[in-house]
A and B are shown apart, each in its own frame.
Chain A
C-alpha cells in the first residue's frame, strides 16, 4: 500500500534526521575543550562588559541644568524662542497668518531655514522658561503641529508657510485650527492644559532649533551643535476678546538674538531656540552594558570553525558522510547544533552582563534624568538581550559555513574575525558616512542588534549609525550566503 510505504519512508526520514542531530550534538558536547570554550565565552563576555562599564562615565546629569530648565512636571526641557505677547485672561481666540518664513545666518543675511524652525501662536502660563503652554506652529520641514507642555503633539497638514493658524481657549481645553485662506478652517486637535491659570500671556512665537555640525579634525570626527536663527512675517493678527493693543517682545530661555518690528499690522519676528523635552545625549545604556560581546563573538567563531575543521583534520568527515550521505543535511544539522549552543551562551552572557553592568553604569553617571533606568521589565531590553543571542548564533553559523568553504582553521577564523571585529575598529577612524556603510556591508553590523536607541550619526561608535534590523539583515545575508556556498561545495568536492 502506497500510503503506508510513504508514511514509513517519512517516519524513517524523520528518525534519521533525529539520529543525525543526536550524533552531531554528541560530537559537540563530548569535546571538553569546546564546552569549556563556550563556558569561557560566557565568563569573558560578562567580565569584559563589567570592565568596560566600570571604565565608562558621563557628566551629562551635572551639565544638564546648564542648558535645560525644569518643565511643568520638573523634568528637563528646552524652552527658548522669541515671544511677542500681551496678557489676556479667560476664554480667548488668537488668529494670525504666518505669511512667510526664512532662515538667517548668524550675521543676519538670509539662509535656508532649519527643517524644524517654528513660527506660530502660543498661550503660555508666563514668560518664564519652562512654564506651561499650548502652541500651534508651522515649520518648513514638518508642517503644522499642535503641542503643549513639551509633549503632546497633534500633527496637522504638511503645508509650510503661508498658513493661517488659530488657537481657541475654553477653560483648560485649547483647540488648534489651521487654514489656507483664513475662511475655511480645519481642526488640528484639542489639548488639555490644566496648569494654565486664568491670566496668561498670549501671542506669537518664532524659534529655530540648533543645527548639527559634523566636523572632522585630527583624524577623527566630532559632532557639535550651533544656534540657528529664523525670521517669520505675521499678518491678519487678531486676539478676541480683550485686545489691549500693546505687544511686547521677549526672548524666552537662554537666547538673546530675538527681536520684532511691527508696521501696519505686519509683524516681522526674529528668534532662535526650540521648545522640546530633553532628548538625552544618545548613548545607549543597554548596549554599553553588553560591550563584552566582542570577546564572545571571537570565542564562538573559533569553536564554530573547529566544529568543522577538526573533522577534516582527522578525516572524521569521511565517516560522517559515509553514515549520512546527504551532506547538506549534515551541514544543516551542525548549523542547528552550533547556533543553538551559541544562542544559549549569548542569552546567559547578555543577562549576566546587563544585570551586573546596569548598576555600575548608573553609579558612573548614566542615571535619570539624562538616562532612563533600564530593567528587565522593559520589552526593548529583552529585544537587545535576544538580539545579542542572535548575534552569537549567526556568527557561529557564519564561522561554521566559512570553515566548510576553506576547510582550514587558520583562514576561517581570521576571515570571520576580520569581517566581524575589524570593521568596528576601522569605523571609529572613518567619517560618519563611510563608517555607516562599513556597518551596512559587513557582518560587524550585527552588533546593532544590541542597541535600543534610534540610529544616530552623532556618536563616534560606528554601530550606532545603523538600525538593529539593518544589522540583522546584513549578518543574516552573510551567514546564508556562506552556508549556500558551503552546501554547494560540499556536494561538489571530495570529502
Chain B
C-alpha cells in the first residue's frame, strides 16, 4: 500500500512538465553560479598568493545559493498545486491516510532534488577543478585540486546535496501549512534569504553570530566549510542539524495541518 502510494506520487511528479524543467534549473544554476563565483576570485586580491586562506570547495559550491530557489518552487508546487486545482480532494478520497500522502510526496520530491543536486554538485566541483588553478589556486600556492578523495570536500559535497534535500522538505512542510503557492514560496524564500542578509547587516558581533547559528540557510551551509573551521559561528554537522530541526518542525506542522483541516 505504502509503496503504491509512493509510486502514485512519483507518477504525479514525473508527469508534470515543470518538474523536469525545475530539476534542470537546479542542476544548471548550481554549476553556473558556482563557476561564475569561482571565476571572480583570484589570489591576486590577497596579500600574497599563499595567504588567501580561501575555502575553494565552498567557493565552487556557491551555486546552491541560487539553485535552492528552484528547489523551493519544485517542492512547494508538489503540495500547493494540488490544493490550487482541488486535485487534493481526489487524492484524499482515494487515500484517507493523509499523513502518508504527505510523506509519499516528501519521498518522491527528495529523490528528484537529491538527483538534480548531485548532478549540480558534481558539475560545480568539476568546474572548480578547471577554473581554480588559472586563478592562482595552484599546488605551489598550497591548494590541492578539488577531489572527492579529500574527506572535507566529500563531506561538503554530499552535505550540499543533503542541504538541498532539507530545503525541499522545508518548502514542502511550509507548502502543506500555507496551501497557497505564492504565499508559501514567499515565506520560504524570506526565511532562507532574509535572515542570511540580516546576519551580514547586523554588525553587533553577538547578534551576527546568533543569526548565523540559528538561521536555516547560513547554519545549513556551514556543511560546505572545509578550512578555517575555527572561524565558523556554527560547525558543519551541528549547522545542518539546525536546518534539519527547522525542516522537521515544518514537515510536522504541515502534516498536522493537513490531518486536522478540511480540504
Contacts and interface: CB of A to CB of B under 8 A. Distances in A.
Interface string B34-54: 000100111001110001111
Given A217-B47, A295-B194, A52 B202 contact: yes
A313 interface: yes
Nearest to A364: B204
B213 interface: no
Interface string B167-183: 00000000000000111
Interface residues of A, number: 45
A392 interface: no
Nearest to A215: B47
A425 B185 contact: no
Contacts of A410: 73, 76-77, 181-182, 185
A326 interface: no
A429 B197 contact: no
B182 A306 contact: yes
A414 B194 contact: no
A216 B55 CA distance: 12
A298 B198 contact: no
Given A55-B204, A216-B41, A410-B181, A421 B197 contact: yes
A371 to B, nearest CB: 14
Given A216-B46, A309-B182, A417 B189 contact: yes
Contacts of B6: none
Contact of B185 (A295, A413, A429): A413
B193 A55 contact: no
A291 interface: yes
Contact of B202 (A56, A301, A302): A56
Contact of A57 (B37, B72, B193, B204): B204
Given A56-B204, A298-B190, A216 B45 contact: yes
Contacts, number: 122
A439 interface: no
A32 B196 CA distance: 31
A55 B211 CA distance: 11
Interface in B161-220: 181-183, 185-186, 189-190, 193-194, 196-198, 200-204, 207-208
B108 interface: no
A400 interface: no
Interface in A59-108: none
Nearest to B36: A434
A430 interface: yes
A432 to B, nearest CB: 9
Interface stretch (B61-69, B90-98, B120-128, B147-155): B61-69
A363 to B, nearest CB: 13
Contacts of B182: 302, 305-306, 309, 409-410, 413
Given A219-B58, A221-B45, A422-B65, A298 B189 contact: yes
Contacts of A51: 198
Contacts of A309: 182
Interface in A23-70: 48, 51-52, 55-58
Interface string A218-233: 1101000000000000
A422 B45 contact: no
Given A306-B182, A430-B37, A431-B40, A425 B197 contact: yes
A414 B74 CA distance: 11
A57 B42 CA distance: 32
Contacts of B183: 302
A55 B202 contact: yes
Nearest to A297: B194
B193 A425 contact: yes
Contacts of A48: 194, 198
Given A219-B54, A295-B194, A409 B181 contact: yes
A57 B54 CA distance: 28
A213 B45 CA distance: 10
B200 A425 contact: yes
A57 B202 CA distance: 9
Given A219-B54, A410-B73, A430-B40, A52 B194 contact: no
Q: 7 shortest A-B CB distances, which residue pairs?
A: A55-B202, A434-B40, A409-B182, A216-B45, A55-B207, A302-B186, A55-B204
Given A56-B201, A301-B186, A425-B193, 17 more contacts: A55-B208, A57-B203, A219-B53, A219-B54, A221-B45, A410-B76, A411-B73, A413-B182, A413-B185, A414-B69, A414-B189, A417-B186, A421-B189, A422-B69, A424-B197, A431-B40, A431-B41
19 contacts: A56-B204, A215-B47, A217-B53, A218-B53, A218-B54, A294-B194, A295-B194, A302-B182, A302-B183, A410-B181, A414-B72, A414-B185, A417-B69, A421-B194, A425-B196, A428-B200, A429-B62, A430-B40, A460-B200
